[in-house]
Structure 1
Amino acid sequence: MNAYIELTIPAQIIENMSNDEYHSRPEFSSSQLKDMLRSGAHFHSHNIIKEHERESKKHLDFGTLAHTLFLEPEQFHNEFAVIPIDAPKPPTDVMRNAKNPSEDSIKRVQWWDDFAAKHGEKITISAEQLDGAQRIATNLRTLSSYKDMQSNYGMAEASIFFTDPIFGLKLRVRPDYHLAPCKAFPNGLILDVKSTRDARPFKFSRDSGEYGYDLSASMYREGFQQYYQTEEKPPFIFLVAENLAPFNVKQYRASDLLLSVGDTRYYKSKEMLAESLLINEWDGYSKEMEDLFLPSYMTKQALDADFH
């Protein structure tokens, strides 16, 4: 039997699994299923022969910083190191390789080498970046969803592993935060924290489509229901923060229509993946000639425009 496909086994949840350990697991994630929707060749390249490696932990994703401060503030000092305001400028390659470096160059190289040695693999951030992320976390705590998080039992970054009941694929999800089924939320609740440049509805809806947030929501809800055995799948909430000042925030409930589209795309990606695994063929794009159109909203704008 294919190593990625099994008979259905009970879903399990693991708390406090590191992000690196989670991403090294063999089960398929929503990001991988999105690769499959683009093309089998993309999935094969990124996930089977791994031509596309994940970014180094040293790389700062501002959303990750804000996410940590909001959901897991106790982990901040384990993950991040703040560069002091009075720190010297980072040395250039020329300074490091100079045969006769100046005293200033020697001091700058030594300072940054000591800083790196002290903090190891932590992500380095500036005081300005920390201030912005703290403002995001503070603003997110003003949302009504945060009150629900405080009033009911929940978990941040808990990993759920389950088996797709139709195709037998081994899958994994890691909701940013979820509430276990309770009196207030009989089917539980999933909350997903997102950062964006523009959190207004017409902008964030486009982000949701472009980045496949609908598919992720459908997959998270299925894994959740399998583990908790709820009568229905849980509601899904997006907590959205702008990553530029004034760091405004919004909260959105995933609509039935969004989730319906997500269910369709989620099913299609699993079907395509199961078939490709079975026959071991990973097709790229169609080679057929196709007509090209502008996005529908641009066409509508042009047709509705008053040119007189």
Structure 2
Amino acid sequence: MIGTGLFISDNAFDAGYLDIIDDYLKQEAKSVASISTNQRLYLSDYDIEIASLNENLPFNVTPAYDSNGKPNFIDASGCLVAGIYSGMENEVYHSLDAISSSKVKKYAKSPAHYKRAYVDKIDRKRISKQTERTFDAGTYAHELVLEPEGFYNRYFKLLNQVDYPNTLNSLDDLRDKCKEHGLPVSGTKAVLIERLITADPAIEIFEEMQKQHIIANAGQSAVDKAYEVIAASSSRTNLIDTLKHDEVKPLLLKTAIDPVVWDDAHRACETMRNHDFANAILQDGFAELSVIAECPETGMMLKVRFDWLTRDGIPADVKTTRSANPTMASYQFADLGYDLQAYMYTYVGRLAGIPCPENVFPFVTCEYIEADICEVLELSDEDWEIAGRNFHKHIKNLKQSIDTDQWSGYTSNSSSILYLPKRGRA
């Protein structure tokens, strides 16, 4: 420790204090010289970042990585470190070896469902193009609402053909134009486009406009690599789909977004921000905070990732949905275990030191496909109580299943008594 300090105010200072000051500085010079060189006597940018992050907070947030890029959430032995972390990538969070609300919800369905998903890891999902679009719109709306900074540096909107009705697009359009210019009409679409552009560069062809738009936003290198992948492929594919190829993605300057998905996401974001209560909830806080805590009942590590957490500890979840109708949502929430999610998030938050209030976890929901509606939905106190009982039951049973490698179905190897519905019975 460096000395004891010397304080003289401006009002009390005069020339008589100069000898005292000289003696003090000599004493402190010796103290500084004796300090070990590995002690830090300054504040780094990283120190200032942490101090700024935690200013006036009732809980402590730690950057996920230190100033050298080393994870703060893993100790020297490779074990998870309990804490509240900012800046953790989504894929890193999902890879953490801890129990998430998704795992608890799957176990609540049945231990056998948990085994299939997280022990056997068998994935039988097939995603249609329409479903993929819906998922994408929800993801981008989520990002626009919670983490809008840099969105337009990361993504760009593809051109929509309906906005360019006078451009050539179909194979018949291209053939007719070739015939009009006295050019051969045989060949693939790509051949016809190249033939027409060579003959008249001023001809407006939608596919060529889209290509130039992609080059301007995604970069020439990415487009060149995409065409290499297309040429080497045995299946029929196009430029836009190939932008998602593993060899192309690292070269993208920006990621392309389908124009319908882009408009849906922006409309959903606007709908939520125009809802006074929803917008008030999503102010003055943190997006995507990752929290790790040890379960006091089982010793297992638990993890949650808050969509939004206000600076005074109130959590919220943002969901895009087919319907935000509260009556329909009650069935959906029960089926998807959102009550368990809400309880677990606030429970783990409190374990980590966040003052999450009891029975408070607003869901900001938004529908955008057939109407633009935002609703803020909250669970009743009765459902909070049921969710709490179920969570603690499931977490203890899950620990037992993991320890014994026993994964029952809906019942524990016994028969079930059925009570048939009364309708249709004599």
TM-score (norm 2): 0.56
5+ residue gaps in structure 1? 1-8, 90-99, 182-187, 304-308
Q: How does 1:1-308 map to 2 (within 5 A)?
A: 11-52=82-123, 59-60=132-133, 61=135, 62-74=137-149, 76-77=151-152, 80-86=155-161, 102-104=188-190, 110=227, 112=239, 115-116=243-244, 117=248, 124-143=256-275, 144-150=277-283, 153-181=284-312, 188-230=313-355, 232-233=357-358, 235-286=360-411, 288-291=415-418, 293=420
**Using a 3 Å threshold, how does the CA distance of structure 1 residues 243 and 145 change in structure 2: closer, same or farther?**
closer
5+ residue gaps in structure 2? 1-79, 170-185, 195-206, 208-225, 228-237
- The 10-residue stretch of structure 1 (74-83 or 40-49) with the greater mean CA deviation from structure 2: 74-83
Residue type matched to 1:145 in 2?
A
Secondary structure class of the residue paired with 1:176:
strand
**Using a 3 Å threshold, how does the CA distance of structure 1 residues 258 and 101 change in structure 2: closer, same or farther?**
farther
Following TM superposition, by how much is the alpha carbon of 1:27 offset from its aligned partner in structure 2, in angstroms? Answer: 0.6
- Alpha-carbon distance in 1 for matches of 2:113, 2:251: 33
The residue that corresponds to 1:6 in the other structure is none
- The 10-residue stretch of structure 1 (283-292 or 41-50) with the greater mean CA deviation from structure 2: 283-292
Identical-pair percentage: 27
Which fold has the larger relative contact order, with Cα–Cα distance below 8 Å and residues 6 or more apart in sequence?
A: 1
**Using a 3 Å threshold, how does the CA distance of structure 1 residues 79 and 164 change in structure 2: closer, same or farther?**
farther
CA contact (8 A) 1:63 1:243 kept: no
Q: RMSD of the TM alignment (CA)?
A: 3.5
Following TM superposition, by how much is the alpha carbon of 1:219 offset from its aligned partner in structure 2, in angstroms? Answer: 0.4
Following TM superposition, by how much is the alpha carbon of 1:149 offset from its aligned partner in structure 2, in angstroms? Answer: 3.1
Aligned pair count reads 271
Following TM superposition, by how much is the alpha carbon of 1:119 offset from its aligned partner in structure 2, in angstroms? Answer: 7.1
Residue type matched to 1:275 in 2?
Q
- Larger Rg: 1 or 2? 2
TM-score (norm 1): 0.75
**Using a 3 Å threshold, how does the CA distance of structure 1 residues 230 and 81 change in structure 2: closer, same or farther?**
same
**Using a 3 Å threshold, how does the CA distance of structure 1 residues 22 and 66 change in structure 2: closer, same or farther?**
same
Residue type matched to 1:170 in 2?
M
- Alpha-carbon distance in 1 for matches of 2:256, 2:347: 36
The residue that corresponds to 2:233 in the other structure is none
CA contact (8 A) 2:319 2:366 kept: yes
Residue type matched to 2:114 in 1?
F
**Using a 3 Å threshold, how does the CA distance of structure 1 residues 243 and 229 change in structure 2: closer, same or farther?**
closer
- The 10-residue stretch of structure 1 (27-36 or 42-51) with the greater mean CA deviation from structure 2: 42-51
